[in-house]
Amino acid sequence: MTEKKAKWIWKYGEYEIYHHKLLMCRRQEMGCDYPGVIWRIAPNEVSVRFAAKMHALTDTTLRIVTHSKGMAYFGDRKYPVNEDLFFPAGDYEVFVMLYDLEGFPSCFIDSEYLKTDESWVDMSFDLPDAPVACEPAFYSPDDNPAVFPFSYEEVTPVSVTETDGGLLYDFGKELFGPVTITEYPENEGVRLTYGESKEEALDYPEALIWENLRPGFDPVRPGRAFRYIHTQSDSGCPVKLCASYEYLPVEDIASFHCEDETINKIWDVCSYTFHLNSREVYLDGIKRDRWCWSGDAYQSFWANYYLYFDPQIVKRTILGLLGKPPYYTHINTINDYSAYLVAAVWDYYYATGDAVFVKRIWDNLKSLYAFMTSRTNEKGYVVKRDGDWIFIDWSEMDKEGILCAEQILLWNAHQVMGRLAELMGEDSSVYGASAAQLKENIMEDFWEEERGLFYDDKADGSRQITRHPNIFAIMYDFVPEEKVKRIAESVIYSDRYVQITTPYFKLYELIAMCKLGDFEKVQDYIRFYWGGMLEQGATTVWERYDPEATKEEALAMYGMKYGTSLCHAWGSGPIYLLGRYCCGVAATDVGYRTFEVRPDFGRFQEIRATVPVKDGVVKVHLENGRLEVMATVPGGTLVYGGKRYKLSANERVMVEAS
Amino acid sequence: MTEKKAKWIWKYGEYEIYHHKLLMCRRQEMGCDYPGVIWRIAPNEVSVRFAAKMHALTDTTLRIVTHSKGMAYFGDRKYPVNEDLFFPAGDYEVFVMLYDLEGFPSCFIDSEYLKTDESWVDMSFDLPDAPVACEPAFYSPDDNPAVFPFSYEEVTPVSVTETDGGLLYDFGKELFGPVTITEYPENEGVRLTYGESKEEALDYPEALIWENLRPGFDPVRPGRAFRYIHTQSDSGCPVKLCASYEYLPVEDIASFHCEDETINKIWDVCSYTFHLNSREVYLDGIKRDRWCWSGDAYQSFWANYYLYFDPQIVKRTILGLLGKPPYYTHINTINDYSAYLVAAVWDYYYATGDAVFVKRIWDNLKSLYAFMTSRTNEKGYVVKRDGDWIFIDWSEMDKEGILCAEQILLWNAHQVMGRLAELMGEDSSVYGASAAQLKENIMEDFWEEERGLFYDDKADGSRQITRHPNIFAIMYDFVPEEKVKRIAESVIYSDRYVQITTPYFKLYELIAMCKLGDFEKVQDYIRFYWGGMLEQGATTVWERYDPEATKEEALAMYGMKYGTSLCHAWGSGPIYLLGRYCCGVAATDVGYRTFEVRPDFGRFQEIRATVPVKDGVVKVHLENGRLEVMATVPGGTLVYGGKRYKLSANERVMVEAS
């Protein structure tokens, strides 16, 4: 008993729902709170009932520590929370009944014979009994699970300059964190203008984030994105501040080093960008939108598995995005984003083998899937219904017709649901049948045999050809090898169709190229696109980059002079591409029970890389015409130069580079 | 424009969900917060988006007043809340985007060209646009819809006595309201012990409600039920207080006066009891449970229509009980309570003609109905599933078998859903078919032709005979006249079967007797049962009364020495019985477009009564062998002595008493 460690407990999912909710309301722009209101933010449950048994061998005292309100039954007597309670030796059935109107109900007991931990049972709402949830960060009576456990590091400005009637702080690189105003004239208004760029910090009120503080303000300002901060007071007296870097303490497992210093720099900048966007859940960007988007998160999950392999943030993000039924709209209102979320659950399970998580969200996921399929047309196609946002990509295309790319995403969702249903011990045949029927329809209606490509229907019934469904057909293994080759030739490597310009969809295209075995092209593109940003002084990856754009054009977006996010998670694609396709590490069974290392080094001659797998890493070392591969866990196979080599745990395999 | 009145606006239903939520968490017992955790308390939504158009003919200023956080778009520019904003003359599309992590999002604008009111559109979550909601009580910038608009009256104790180491306040009758401690020794602990009875107030810690206050306490204590309060301090220094009566300001429309002073007194006590339990929503009792229960509320709605005809509290109660999907359990976890809630929606619509309300809750009601029917067995019967509570009544009976009473309630729910579906312009045939099939099965499986009664299945497959299904068969017009008579003889007026002992189910039996035309029997019972309580000094109607019980037995319940509620809403049945059956006033078409006055005076010789109908009243005056009836609205028919008399608005009809 004594070696058990007490932890704060709560209803499963409520911690994640709560912190997602706060995050979705924390965006601020132009001095205004800018809550996420375009889709429903799932609220927390109000009340809970947790149960346990206490076998007190001696008289005992304990205290139910909570930030919520409520009481407990020990046997049939009621006891208050947050008071020292005495119990004579004996056996007790314990029920803790809590409500919370602001946070979410949670409590903590650490006594000789009763400790809160995962063994407690959530009996709220007469739902089937379920284990309560805990997080390792909350294990002391002084903790509060409503406060997210970020880490903090003080940061020092590289320069402080008097300009524009105030002081301009430059912290040398993009940051996120709270700022404390340390010196300011009393009884005066103070203004802080935050800038990802210097231009932005000096351009009140056009900058996206600023605040006009009135006398009596709290000198500790909430966490915000910035590299520059301009401070000024009404009278011109100097306003000084210090800043912290606020971050999620997850350590990189992966590393990548090659002979090309630009690529090495890109890796570092991608990693830093990705860490900045790794928070309670995955953000799209730390300045804008500061929201959690399923499509963005889908790519972040991949970067996760290939950078630091942290299942916790994936689960938090999925729980936040999935929210709670009923589903009135798609995830983020976007049809494709619902499909990505379903796909992400499979990816998570495949990477981690964590079937418990799938079980926890299974009912909600089925509700989402039921919502998705309830809105398809008579052929089972995704069509635009009231409230739907058919996104796919920012590309200019007719989105009012039936887009083939949406159908391939749905086909994948059918398949994933079938696999998950099997995992849950449920009948999967309906999902399989839906997938098969949909595939048949898609091939019939959208595949053009003559040219060897997929097209879309436009609203007027005519056809358009876009890269998107053709990329998905390769990425999701929708078509056999022979058709993959035709698509590559007719679309992927053709200049006839409008190019992908967003780094978001570009990642999918680069994946398709990797699958085509053309890593060289991907390598060149990374150097050109990400390298181009670095040349322009980027310290984090931008939401969007156009080598031809002026600085002004680069910074503006959505009709706002500084609308572009200069620190966007989806810019971290190279981490995934380098680990997954260059080093070629990929699970071939659930939870990396088996995995392959199938490198495609392109033009690289020297590589020293570490790629995470579940509970271990794969080390890849290419140098002087020799390839060395070592995995710290069993189950691996090196596939290289047309041969297969078994990777035993911790044993190096060395082969000649081909 | 100028005559429009600005009102606070919020998302429809959120006000009711919020106040229901608070109420469900406000119960306190034995010094503990006792939240409602047995079923799910629906949480509030986090964020909203409200839209309107502003046509500013001149330059204008305005302020978005809110207790929530957020911002507004006027055109494509963002503006903060709670600041004075200036707009040049022009046309603006306005979106107010709010979030609230504690209350529920609401706002108020009162300016020349823009006022918040029902014309604003709720565009949250990409759901179909819907009108926002308002309440007449909230129309000034200083208001806060998170504070429920109760009225307060100071009350004076009838005596203050030194006893048991402190002071005993007696307020002369049952009350509910906050107490302010006006005089107390500083730096000492203070205890208040509340009692519905003197015994309870003097019996710490056995009393149900008490609080041990530590130095530094807030002298204003939250509203609680009491007639007596005992105060004491650690040192014995006197602790003085004053108290208020907290109440919902609804005025009685009905009155009832007859030659029997006991009945008159019963009426007054019933009315007072009912007002004490009429709050944000209907309580079962003001001391215990202080929760909102659907079965209790079902009867309260009837008392409402026959006492003060206030649609608002009915809607608040239905919205609170209905909560939000998904439905994991029945309403209050009780199968019958889900069925009553469905029935109550029809009753509400039939009394008020308010189809707008039905439209607002229709989707949720259908979700509840889908939950109910998803748990029936292959014959469409209500059976006990995991998490179900088959209640019907506290009577001792086998509830593990298939209870016929549950089936009749479900049959009624099918019928009601069919009528509501028609009202909503939807296909009702599935509901009708379910009702018809269920009735056929019930008659086949539960009707015993020989004895002329309904029985139930016990768990072991054998039969039991209870009054309950037989009462429902009459009350819900489940069987034709001929069978009604047989049931009356074989069960209702037979002593062979266990008597109903709860005033809750007794009301249904009394209604059945009224429908049988036996008001005399009902009249005698009211005098015996309610009169008996008054003789024992009741100032409000008790949860339960047994003439044979000792005082100690009367006060104890649920294993608690003072567990019995001495102010229970369901004791107000006589109001309904006297208005509905003695005076005989009843709608015969939706919203009292037509109605009947079909009195059954029993042994009464003199009656002067007012009975509400929609937008008016019916006055009934029986004296000296003459009956005078007058209605203030058209549509009425007096049915008396076998004859029908048209009631024109405000015209007296006089007939000889028969």
The C-alpha atoms of residue A270 and residue A534 are separated, in whole angstroms, by 11
Are A367 and B326 within 8 A, CB to CB?
A: yes
Residues in B 158-217 with any Cβ partner in A closer than 8 A? none
CA-CA-CA-CA dihedral for A257, A261, A263, A265, to nearest 10: 90
Burial of B399-436, coded b for 16+ CB within 10 Å and e otherwise, reads bebbbbbbbbbbbbbbbbbbbbbebbeeebeebbebbe
For residue range A278-304, list pLDDT tens digits in order.
999 999 999 999 999 999 999 999 999
For residue range B535-575, list pLDDT tens digits in order.
999 999 999 999 999 999 999 999 999 999 999 999 999 99
The C-alpha atoms of residue B327 and residue B385 are separated, in whole angstroms, by 14
Give yes or no for B43 touching A (CB within 8 A): yes
Give yes or no for A40 touching B (CB within 8 A): yes
Give yes or no for B22 touching A (CB within 8 A): yes
Distance of residue A388 Cα from the nearest chain B Cα, in angstroms: 8
- pLDDT value at B625 more than 80: yes
Q: What does A139-168 look like in DSSP terms, one character per residue?
A: -STT--TTS---EEEEE--SEEEEETTEEE
pLDDT at B46: 96
Give yes or no for B80 touching A (CB within 8 A): yes
Are A25 and B44 within 8 A, CB to CB?
A: no
Are B99 and A35 within 8 A, CB to CB?
A: yes
Least Cα distance to A291 among A583, A37, A534, A512 occurs for A37
Using a CB-CB distance cutoff of 8 angstroms, which residues of chain A are in contact with residue B30? 78
Q: What does B452-517 look like in DSSP terms, one character per residue?
A: TEE-EE-TTS-EE--HHHHHHHHHTT-S-HHHHHHHIIIIIT-SSSPPP-SHHHHHHHHHHHHHTT
Question: Which of A25, A81, A99 is facing B46, going by the closest CB pair?
Answer: A25
Distance of residue A430 Cα from the nearest chain B Cα, in angstroms: 20
Using a CB-CB distance cutoff of 8 angstroms, which residues of chain B are in contact with residue A385? none
pLDDT at B125: 77
Pairing outcome for strands A636-640 and A595-597: parallel
Are B37 and A97 within 8 A, CB to CB?
A: yes
On the CB side of A643, CA atoms within 13 Å amount to 10
Residue B346's contacts (CB-CB under 8 Å, 6 or more residues apart) are B416, B419, B420
Question: Which of A35, A40, A80 is facing B70, going by the closest CB pair?
Answer: A35
Q: Which residues pair with B290 in a beta bridge?
A: none
Q: What is the mean pLDDT of residues B404-416?
A: 98
Amino acid at site B501: T
The C-alpha atoms of residue A412 and residue A473 are separated, in whole angstroms, by 10
Residue A44's contacts (CB-CB under 8 Å, 6 or more residues apart) are A14, A17, A18, A21, A100, A103, A104, B43
The C-alpha atoms of residue A534 and residue B194 are separated, in whole angstroms, by 73
A92 is written with which tokens? 């007790």
Residue A242, SS3 per DSSP: strand
Q: Which residue has the tokens 């300009």?
A: A163
Residues in B 498-557 with any Cβ partner in A closer than 8 A? none
Question: What ipTM was predicted for this assembly?
Answer: 0.95
Which sign does the torsion angle of CA A370, A374, A378, A379 carry? negative
Q: Which residues pair with B140 in a beta bridge?
A: none
The C-alpha atoms of residue A627 and residue B218 are separated, in whole angstroms, by 75
Cβ neighbour number for residue A187 with a 10 Å cutoff = 9
- Widest distance between CA atoms in chain B: 84
pLDDT at A230: 98
Segments of chain A with pLDDT less than 50: 1-2
First vs last Cα of chain B: how many Å apart? 58
Residues in A 378-397 with any Cβ partner in B closer than 8 A? 386-387
Residue B243, SS3 per DSSP: strand
Q: Crossing angle, helix B355-374 and helix B335-352, to 10 degrees?
A: 160
Distance of residue B286 Cα from the nearest chain A Cα, in angstroms: 19
Give yes or no for B84 touching A (CB within 8 A): no
Residue pair B531/B424 in contact by the 8 Å Cβ criterion: no
pLDDT at A503: 87
Per residue, what are the HEC states of B330-366? Answer: CHHHEHHHHHHHHHHHHHHHHHHCCHHHHHHHHHHHH
The C-alpha atoms of residue B302 and residue B507 are separated, in whole angstroms, by 11
* Interface with chain A: mutation pick from B11, B30, B32, highest number of A CBs within 10 Å: B32
The C-alpha atoms of residue B134 and residue B10 are separated, in whole angstroms, by 7
Q: Which residue has the tokens 């020297």?
A: A606
DSSP B223: E
Number of H helices, E strands in chain A: 15, 32
Are A69 and B25 within 8 A, CB to CB?
A: yes
Residue pair A281/A320 in contact by the 8 Å Cβ criterion: yes
Least Cα distance to B633 among B612, B654, B653 occurs for B612
Least Cα distance to A212 among A237, A196, A193 occurs for A193
The C-alpha atoms of residue A55 and residue A32 are separated, in whole angstroms, by 54
**Helix boundaries (H) for A278-310:** 294-307
Cα angle vertex B252, ends B247, B253, to 5°? 155
Instruction: Write down how long chain B is.
Output: 658
Give yes or no for A41 touching B (CB within 8 A): yes
**Burial class for A445, CB neighbours closer than 10 Å (0-12, 13-18, 19+):** middle
Burial of A567-579, coded b for 16+ CB within 10 Å and e otherwise, reads bbbbbbbbbbbbb
DSSP A285: B
Residues in B 286-325 with any Cβ partner in A closer than 8 A? 325
Pairing outcome for strands B595-597 and B636-640: parallel
pLDDT at A1: 44
Cβ neighbour number for residue B220 with a 10 Å cutoff = 10
For residue range B121-174, list pLDDT tens digits in order.
999 976 788 999 999 999 999 999 999 999 999 999 999 999 999 999 999 999
By percentage, how much of chain B surpasses pLDDT 90?
Answer: 97
Residue pair B298/B572 in contact by the 8 Å Cβ criterion: no
On the CB side of A138, CA atoms within 13 Å amount to 24
Are B76 and A40 within 8 A, CB to CB?
A: no
Chain B, nearest residue to A334 by Cα: B126
Cβ neighbour number for residue A139 with a 10 Å cutoff = 16
Cβ neighbour number for residue A635 with a 10 Å cutoff = 21
Phi–psi pair at B263, nearest 5 degrees = -65, -40
Amino acid at site A22: L
pLDDT at B347: 98
- pLDDT value at B180 more than 60: yes
Phi–psi pair at A362, nearest 5 degrees = -60, -45
Residue pair A271/A174 in contact by the 8 Å Cβ criterion: no
- pLDDT value at B28 more than 50: yes
Distance of residue A32 Cα from the nearest chain B Cα, in angstroms: 5
Amino acid at site B158: V
- pLDDT value at B1 more than 60: no
Residue B510, SS3 per DSSP: helix
A181: phi > 0 → left, psi -120 to 50 → alpha, else beta; which?
beta
Residue pair B45/B7 in contact by the 8 Å Cβ criterion: no
For residue range B475-486, list pLDDT tens digits in order.
999 999 999 999
- pLDDT value at B2 more than 70: no
The C-alpha atoms of residue B155 and residue B175 are separated, in whole angstroms, by 9
Phi–psi pair at A12, nearest 5 degrees = -55, 130
Q: Which residues pair with B90 in a beta bridge?
A: B56
Give yes or no for A99 touching B (CB within 8 A): yes
Residue pair B637/B644 in contact by the 8 Å Cβ criterion: yes
Amino acid at site A493: Y
Residue B105, SS3 per DSSP: coil
- Cis bond leading into A215, ω under 30°? no
